[in-house]
């Protein structure tokens, strides 16, 4: 039953302390499974963003003044502390967003790896000594950007934040985080982890709030050196346009419409498990969701029949129950979006092979549940095949040839991720190289690693998370050119010598 006595109450996190917002307003975080209050957090706006930016500026000399090895040690401690706090944090993530405990326990268990990896990068990163003219020593230094802003969504609240915070801290930046209004609790608690690990007060600040107020204030702030955003494509465009006015660097991981491409040499059971995993994890609310299942025609009907049976058998229920395989959508709005697209798909002439409605029963009455849904008889020009639904809906399209598979897979405005399923090693790589996507899995889907670049082509974004590239994107290069000669040089002297300046 919904209750107004949620146990969690947190302020904004600024300069190492939880503080109320200037307005005194709060955001109520509600559990999508039943509307119960999970907690209240302070709701910040422009004034609070200003205070957080000032705190981050004050901490910048302290944090950036440490050596890479010292920052690395602190990040390793953060990894260990986070690991110890995971049981509590997993429970809160499940309550905030409704994703099943079995998913969040598996996902969050990996987060310490990000701090371990970027801690190691901070300790070991080497600069370069590019060639220069004779008589010169020439070297580069990577220096932090300063105060950076992270704007994060609700679908993987702590994973996505960690992907941004670990490299930016490792590189010596300080930061202001504007988490999703739907899932601000765990980003706030990360402040406690950092404090205990030895991150100086003010290096990591969190201002919960809405996109149009706190988000706008952060992304248009003239003293923010980089905005790293994960969200919808329209949000990304708006944020990049505003940031451009201040020449603020932008990284954006945006929408997707990933294809899962199954060639007919794939074992059908394997193909079906792949499609289920790709499409329905996170109730489909993930940017790399395998929302388009492209199946070679000779196995198409068998794959669809088995997929529909398996989708109907997915256990919906209380996300805190380890037996539950699919939870509710995060909000009424996300479920309405799914329902709207189901109606659009039917109107466009697609056929429902499974799902397409809310589950029945008292257990689902107060939550935003929706059945896993499969559309067949889909053509690539349909809106359900083109637009990001961000719900438990997969469209199945048949193909005949490799060329047709590539054309279909590339035939959307998005380019975040794709997966290819085949036993033919030449074809796997050939097709991968033709994919217009930042991430291509071969015989897998959804896999991620802190060392492995993550981000999109086309309208799926700019910049990359993870890997050395993410660390380097949180720095700017300084080139130091040293003349080793003490010989006199006077350009304007008419002394008959041949002079050079390049």
Residues of this chain, 285-324, that bind ligand TXE according to CB under 6 A: 287
**Sign (positive/negative) of CA torsion 383, 384, 390, 391?**
positive
CA 394/CA 389 separation, integer angstroms: 9
Using CB under 6 A as the binding rule, whether residue 45 contacts ligand TXE is answered as no
Annotate each residue in 159-178 with x if it binds ligand TXE (CB under 6 A) or - if it does not, as one string: -------------------x
Q: Which is nearer to ligand TXE, 25 or 423 (CB)?
A: 25
What kind and span of H or E run contains 58? helix 46-64
204 binds ligand TXE (CB under 6 A): no
The contacts of residue 1 (CB under 8 Å, 6+ apart) are: 34, 36
User: What's the full length of the chain, in residues?
Assistant: 502
Using the contact rule CB under 6 A, the part of the chain among 101-109, 147-155, 195-203, 317-325 near ligand TXE is 147-155
Catalytic residue among 50, 253, 371, 388: 253
User: Tokens 């952060």 sit at which residue?
Assistant: 218
Binders of ligand TXE among 381-420, rule CB under 6 A? Answer: 388, 390
* CB of 224 vs ligand TXE, minimal distance in Å: 12
Instruction: Please indicate whether residue 465 is annotated as part of the active site.
Output: yes
From 46-54, 231-239, 365-373, 444-452, span contacting ligand TXE (CB under 6 A): 231-239
Q: Helix H segments across 137-230?
A: 157-170, 185-197, 216-219
Where does 246-296 have alpha helices with state H?
Answer: 268-280
Q: Does 338 bind ligand TXE (CB under 6 A)?
A: no
Q: Please identify which residue in 173, 186, 230, 259 interacts with ligand TXE, judged by CB under 6 A.
A: 230
Q: Are 103 and 228 in contact (CB under 8 A)?
A: no
User: Does 117 participate in binding ligand TXE (rule CB under 6 A)?
Assistant: no
Q: Are strands 351-354 and 373-376 parallel, antiparallel or unpaired?
A: antiparallel
Q: Considering the rule CB under 6 A, would residue 253 count as an interface residue with ligand TXE?
A: yes
Question: Of 211, 284, 317, 356, which lies in the binding site for ligand TXE, with binding defined by CB under 6 A?
Answer: 211
Q: Which of 181, 228, 318, 473 binds ligand TXE (CB under 6 A)?
A: 181
Residue number with CB closer to ligand TXE (89 or 459): 459
Identified catalytic residue from 163, 164, 178, 226: 164
Query: Rounded to a whole number, what is the distance in angstroms from the first to the last CA of the chain?
Result: 75
Select 188 or 353, whichever has its Cβ closest to ligand TXE.
188
Phi, psi torsion values for 173, nearest 5 degrees: -85, 160
SS (H, E, C) 173-200: CEEEEECCCCCCHHHHHHHHHHHHHCCC
Task: Confirm or reject binding of residue 370 to ligand TXE (CB under 6 A).
Answer: no
Active-site residue, selected from the candidate residues 43, 50, 93, 465: 465
Which candidate, 159, 176, 78, places its Cα nearest to that of 111?
159
Q: Which residues pair with 40 in a beta bridge?
A: 9, 28
Whichever of 11 and 231 has its CB closer to ligand TXE, that residue is 231
Nearer to ligand TXE, 44 or 317 (CB): 44
Q: How far is the CB of 208 from ligand TXE (least distance, A)?
A: 9
DSSP state of 249: E
In a 3-state reduction of DSSP, which class is residue 111?
A: helix
* Contact predicate 226/129, CB 8 Å: no
> What is the spatial distance between Cα 406 and Cα 207, in angstroms, rounded to a whole number?
43
Please give the structure tokens belonging to residue 176. 């202001």
376: contact with ligand TXE by CB under 6 A: no
Q: From the list 31, 155, 266, 325, which residue makes contact with ligand TXE (rule: CB under 6 A)?
A: 155
Provide, rounded to whole angstroms, the least separation between the CB of residue 58 and ligand TXE: 24
CB-nearer residue toward ligand TXE: 253 or 318: 253
* 342 lies in the binding site for ligand TXE (CB under 6 A): no
Judge contact between 401 and 408, C-beta under 8 A: no
Contact set for ligand TXE, span 255-274 (CB under 6 A): 255
**Binding site residues, ligand TXE, CB under 6 A:** 151-155, 178, 180-181, 210-212, 215-216, 219, 230-232, 235, 238-239, 253-255, 287, 337, 388, 390
Q: Which residues are catalytic?
A: 164, 253, 287, 465
């Amino acid at each position: 039953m919904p209750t107004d006595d949620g146990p969690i109450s947190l302020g904004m996190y600024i300069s190492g302390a939880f503080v109320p917002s200037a307005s005194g307003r709060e955001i109520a975080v509600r559990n999508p499974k039943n509307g119960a209050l999970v907690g209240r957090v302070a709701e910040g706006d422009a004034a609070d963003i200003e205070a957080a930016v000032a705190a981050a500026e004050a901490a910048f000399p302290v944090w950036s003044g440490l050596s890479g090895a010292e920052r690395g040690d602190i990040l390793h401690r953060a990894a260990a502390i986070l690991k110890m706090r995971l049981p509590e944090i997993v429970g809160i993530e499940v309550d905030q967003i409704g994703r099943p405990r079995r998913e969040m326990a598996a996902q969050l268990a990996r987060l310490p790896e990000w701090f371990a990896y970027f801690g190691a990068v901070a300790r070991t990163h080497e600069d370069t000594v590019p060639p220069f003219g004779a008589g010169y020593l020439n070297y580069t230094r990577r220096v932090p950007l300063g105060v950076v802003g992270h704007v994060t969504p609700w679908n993987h609240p702590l994973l996505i934040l960690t992907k941004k915070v670990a490299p930016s801290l490792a590189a010596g930046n300080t930061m202001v985080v504007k988490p999703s209004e739907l899932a601000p609790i765990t980003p706030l608690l990360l402040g406690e982890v950092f404090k205990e690990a030895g991150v100086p007060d003010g290096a990591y600040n969190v201002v919960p709030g809405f996109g149009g107020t706190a988000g706008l204030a952060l992304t248009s702030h003239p003293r923010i050196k980089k905005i790293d955003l994960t969200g919808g494509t329209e949000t990304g465009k708006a944020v990049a346009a505003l940031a451009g006015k201040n020449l603020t660097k932008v990284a954006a991981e945006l929408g997707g419409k990933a294809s899962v491409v199954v060639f007919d040499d794939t074992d059908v059971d394997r193909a079906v498990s792949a499609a289920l995993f790709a499409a329905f994890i996170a109730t489909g609310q993930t940017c790399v969701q395998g929302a388009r299942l492209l199946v070679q025609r000779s196995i198409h009907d068998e794959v669809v029949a088995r997929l529909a049976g398996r989708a109907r058998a997915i256990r919906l229920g209380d996300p805190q129950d380890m037996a539950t395989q699919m939870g509710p959508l995060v909000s009424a709005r996300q479920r309405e979006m799914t329902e709207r697209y189901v109606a659009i798909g039917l109107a466009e002439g697609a056929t429902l092979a499974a799902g397409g409605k809310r589950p029945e029963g008292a257990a689902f009455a107060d939550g935003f549940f929706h059945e896993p849904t499969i559309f067949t008889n889909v053509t690539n020009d349909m809106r359900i095949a083109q637009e990001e639904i961000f719900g438990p809906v997969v469209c199945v399209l048949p193909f005949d040839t490799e060329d047709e598979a590539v054309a279909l897979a590339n035939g959307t405005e998005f380019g975040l991720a794709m997966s290819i399923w085949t036993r033919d090693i030449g074809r796997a790589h050939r097709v991968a190289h033709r994919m217009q996507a930042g991430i291509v899995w071969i015989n897998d889907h959804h896999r991620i690693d802190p060392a492995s670049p993550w981000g999109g082509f086309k309208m799926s974004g700019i910049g990359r998370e993870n890997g050395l590239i993410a660390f380097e994107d949180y720095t700017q290069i300084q080139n130091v050119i040293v003349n080793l000669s003490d010989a006199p040089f006077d350009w304007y002297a008419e002394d008959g010598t041949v002079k050079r300046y390049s």
